[in-house]
């Protein structure tokens, strides 16, 4: 039987690292992608040491996913492998009033949260459709289920793009009766390094990266399209659909201001 591979971006920490640990224990060989090579190498060593599968293989690719050239390069390096799972996990946020936040950081956020996810989804999806199998999981956010997010406006918009694109592709795949799966993971707060990069602190407790990744994989393999691994966020998503749009946006804005103790 041909070896099955899972490619995970943003694999050096947080949810991405837990995806790697769980999939390595589930007979998948791994391609781990991130900027921080030392962390990738440490994770590779851990996974190889713990693996019970003598055929297990783990490859690390140090890559900054800003820019189409890097994305094309990543695809060219991996396209000949039997990739069965793509997890677009790379992403980050920023916090603050839009007039004050750093423009270059926002352009980088758009490159990673939107463009990298879009390009990799497009390239690997074409391969998956040809063989009529494969899984794509785009790590979005509960932010992507809300109409807008004052004080994290760019981040919310980027995750709305991710969630909307995923659902649109899923509908196309259903129409063609494809066996290929695509879904969006939409967690709320998760205890990762996200806050350090986003310059904020969650005002409500987060779930563990391990729980988030485990829940996501279970739902992915059961082919659930929108995955929300938190009861609080499931309720919030349902309320967000029926409550007045302006009210939901105001609540999101107050929630973001609480992150810096402003409310």
42-65 residues labelled b (16+ CB within 10 A) or e (exposed):
ebbeebeeebeeeebbbbbbebeb
Q: What average pLDDT does this structure show over 136-160?
A: 91
Report whether pLDDT(39) > 70.
yes
Q: Which residue has the tokens 């690719």?
A: 61
The full set of domains in the chain, from first to last, is 5-260 (3.40.50.720)
Asked if 67 and 74 count as a contact pair (C-beta separation under 8 A), the reply is: no
Report whether pLDDT(200) > 60.
no
**Confidence class for position 18, pLDDT limits 50, 70, 90:** very high
Asked if 253 and 151 count as a contact pair (C-beta separation under 8 A), the reply is: yes
Cα–Cα distance for residue pair 85/120, rounded to 1 Å: 12
Q: What is the pLDDT of residue 237?
A: 79
Asked if 214 and 168 count as a contact pair (C-beta separation under 8 A), the reply is: no
Q: How far is CA 165 from CA 14, 71, 114, 138, in A?
A: 24, 18, 10, 10
Cα–Cα distance for residue pair 91/224, rounded to 1 Å: 22
Report whether pLDDT(205) > 70.
no
More confident residue, 162 or 245: 162
Cα–Cα distance for residue pair 9/125, rounded to 1 Å: 16
**Confidence class for position 262, pLDDT limits 50, 70, 90:** very low
Q: What is the pLDDT of residue 160?
A: 96
Report whether pLDDT(201) > 80.
no
Q: What average pLDDT does this structure show over 182-207?
A: 70
Which residue among the candidates 151, 155, 156, 161 is catalytic per the annotation? 155
Catalytic (active site) residue 28: no
In DSSP terms, which residues pair with 138 in a beta bridge?
Answer: 88, 184
Q: What average pLDDT does this structure show over 175-186?
A: 98
More confident residue, 54 or 89: 89
For 66, left (φ over 0), alpha (ψ -120 to 50), or beta?
Answer: beta
Asked if 241 and 43 count as a contact pair (C-beta separation under 8 A), the reply is: no
pTM metric for this prediction? 0.90
Give the rounded distance of the alpha carbon of 185 from its chain centre: 7
For the chain, the residue count is 263
In tens, the pLDDT along 103-128 reads: 999 999 999 999 999 999 999 999 99
Q: What average pLDDT does this structure show over 64-91?
A: 96
Report whether pLDDT(174) > 70.
yes
**Confidence class for position 198, pLDDT limits 50, 70, 90:** very low
Asked if 182 and 166 count as a contact pair (C-beta separation under 8 A), the reply is: yes
pLDDT above 70 as % of the chain: 92
Cα–Cα distance for residue pair 246/96, rounded to 1 Å: 20
Q: How far is CA 65 from CA 76, 79, 83, 216, 246, in A?
A: 14, 17, 19, 23, 35
**Residues with Cβ < 8 Å from 29, sequence gap 6 or more?**
3, 4, 5, 6, 55, 56, 57, 58, 59
Q: What average pLDDT does this structure show over 72-99?
A: 96
**Confidence class for position 192, pLDDT limits 50, 70, 90:** low
pLDDT above 90 as % of the chain: 73
């Amino acid at each position: 039987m041909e070896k099955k591979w899972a490619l995970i971006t943003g694999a050096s920490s947080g949810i991405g690292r837990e995806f790697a640990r769980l999939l390595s224990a589930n007979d998948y060989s791994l391609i781990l992608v991130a900027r921080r090579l030392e962390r990738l190498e440490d994770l590779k060593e851990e996974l190889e040491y713990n693996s019970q599968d003598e055929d297990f293989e783990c490859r690390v690719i140090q890559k900054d996913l800003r820019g189409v050239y890097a994305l094309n390069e990543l695809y060219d390096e991996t396209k000949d492998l039997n990739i069965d799972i793509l997890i677009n996990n790379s992403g980050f946020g920023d916090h603050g009033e839009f007039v004050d936040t750093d423009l270059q950081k926002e352009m980088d956020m758009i490159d990673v949260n939107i463009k990298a996810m879009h390009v990799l989804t497009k390239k690997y999806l074409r391969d998956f459709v040809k063989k009529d199998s494969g899984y794509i999981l785009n790590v979005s956010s509960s932010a992507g289920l809300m109409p807008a997010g004052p004080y994290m406006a760019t981040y919310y918009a980027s995750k709305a793009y991710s969630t909307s694109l995923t659902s649109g592709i899923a509908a196309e795949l259903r129409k063609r009766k494809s066996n290929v799966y695509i879904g969006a993971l939409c967690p709320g707060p998760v205890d990762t390094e996200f806050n350090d990069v986003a310059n904020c602190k969650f005002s409500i407790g987060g779930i563990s990266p391990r729980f988030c990744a485990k829940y996501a994989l279970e739902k992915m393999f059961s082919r659930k399209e929108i995955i929300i691994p938190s009861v609080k966020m499931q309720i919030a998503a349902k309320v967000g659909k029926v409550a007045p749009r302006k009210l939901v946006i105001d609540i999101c804005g107050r929630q973001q201001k609480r992150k810096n103790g402003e409310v």
